[in-house]
Structure 1
Amino acid sequence: MQSSPEAKTFYWYFKPIALVCKILGVFPLQNILKAKNPKDIKVRIFSFAHLYSFFIFASMVYMIFYFSGFMFNYNKSVYLLIVVCVMILRSFVCFLFCGSLSSKLPILIRLLDTFDRKKTPLLIDKNGNNVLRSFALWTVLPMVTGFIAIGISFMESAQVVLETIPPELGATNVAVAAYFFGGLSIWQVLPLLMYIYFSIKIKSNFDIINDTIARKGYSGCIFDEDIKYPEDMAEAMEYFRHMHNVCSKSVHVLGTFYGNFMAIDQFCIIVMVIANICTFINDKGHDSHLLTLTIFNILVVVAVLVISHQIKDSGTKIVDLLHGIVFSRVSEKCRTEVST
């Protein structure tokens, strides 16, 4: 069962986002501009895309060194210095993650695209036939949100660094170094935003399956033993199982893709938050920018944790929906599909 060839699928909506990421040097996909299908996407370590990504990152690091020499004011606030050092370390970790593990990204993109390609009228998808609404939801809104998040992180990171670079270097050198340092925040923000984006899409796919089962009468009802099920119950259950497996595989790939990185990144954020709190206590002069940066990082982490929990709930909801089906009123094939 396939959707119509003219229907827009996940890859069509995601492609502009992937192009922006490639321009910024994050998650370099080699031929994202030419690839018309996610199975044609190529990722090679020794490619122009990866060299470009390395050039962008290395240029920012070099410009920081050129204008500041990585000379920080150790006497002003040791806790603030810890924040800056952790931010530098986090940027390097995120850069290595985006470069080394980007080879798994096409698999996830292909799985999400496969779900859309295999949609049929059986599934209830409010946005499925509305290209404009889907484009606004899966392309425009994420890009606007991403640019706002990057802008906040960029400005606040730069302002924090301004407090640690000795003014003796000159106002121009200090400002340029600080803003290039703010540019490194792109690698700190985008990987987590992409995780949230992919997670929301996976959750949406799970919800489409769950809503269809509930609203079209394919679910079980413990309190109604005389319930009548649709005639296509067996075929529908087989289709739902297959689509649910596609979503479950997407969750597995996403977890494999982000697993170790998320642990390291959240450790860095915890250290930053602790150092920020210590800075607030010991030096009231940095409250504004540090507070904004701290709240921003906490909100991103909370969003990651919340959406991760929601995926789990949406993925297991099908068990509750099918629990209570009266097996004597369905075919043997349907019983097999439900029990699988």
Structure 2
Amino acid sequence: MRLPYNFVDRNDGNDAPMPTYLVTGNAGFIGFHTARTLLERGVGVVGIDVVNDYYDPALKEARLRELEATAARTGTPYTFYRADLAEREVLETCFAAHRFDAVIHLAAQAGVRYSLENPRAYVRSNIDAFVNVLECCRAADPHPHLVYASTSSVYGANTRLPFSEHQPADHPLQFYAATKRANELMAHAYSHLFGIPTTGVRFFTVYGPWGRPDMALFIFTRKILAGEPIPLFNEGRHTRDFTYVEDIVEGVLRLAAKPAEPDPNWSGDAPDPQSSRAPWRIYNIGASRPVPLIDYVEALEEALGKKAKREYLPLQPGDVPDTYADTSELEAAVGYRPKTSVREGIAKFVAWYLDYYGRE
């Protein structure tokens, strides 16, 4: 039974078993929102997260409490494993105890700049752990649909905008992006060899409530409230395809309900980077509305009712000047396009931030 992306009525007289999804990284930003939405739609969730200290573990623990409360309120089954996906045995135990309709793999070591400081953390979390997920999906019968997080950063040195999945993505500008591109290629090998349906989703600058403290919106909000200058790299001139987290989740869940299939038109003479003869696909999920960083800051000032002190800095190593998602493949596949405007999304973030932290 596959998840319809709209509300699941568990009292409709249907005797089919409740679908169950594995969500890795469910104490993280996007993983938390994904798991909570599934629980609210009546879909059983099994979550796995190591809950490390890359950023404030208290925020991750608060997300986990919110998931427990959502499960209790909705009466939807929810199981949580506090474990490191790089440890194979724990994941194997999880797969032995549950049958998954889909695996949504969102656990990863995130952060572009941190990958310059600690690349080995990315090998463990983004490579070793991904192999374990692939192996468990391979061993499961039937194979669940594996949907996994990639990133717009894989476009790297590409400058042709908007970024399309049909463009090559073989020139990453930081090690983080290289590990996510490796995930896409590893997934293709398993789809080709073992028939596992895999879908990679390239996220574009995700923001929203319960976000990561190391991301720009969080940093800007904290500094503006404290009266401190905010750092604007590249002199604030670059643009980003800022995408609200609930729009990301909607796209992920619609794709999860549509297992990847072989492309009958794919040709090795002119290989399309977006599809394959194997059951493998790549999709962008972005707002498809690039916004100058200065406009983003102005929307935040408006929501906070306070002006920012600005510190203009040069472009940082590994940063991409501009991002812009072509979402035509997402729209063709599942009839969806992200819709939340930056001003609307930032206002929702600020409301959450002030409720959670107060005006520090």
Q: TM tier, shorter chain?
A: under 0.3
Q: TM-score normalised to the size of structure 2?
A: 0.24
More helix by share: 1
Structure 1 or 2, whichever has the larger Rg, is: 1
Q: What TM-score do you get using the length of structure 1 for normalisation?
A: 0.25
Say which structure, 1 or 2, has more relative contact order (CA 8 Å, 6+ apart).
1
Which structure carries more strand by proportion? Answer: 2
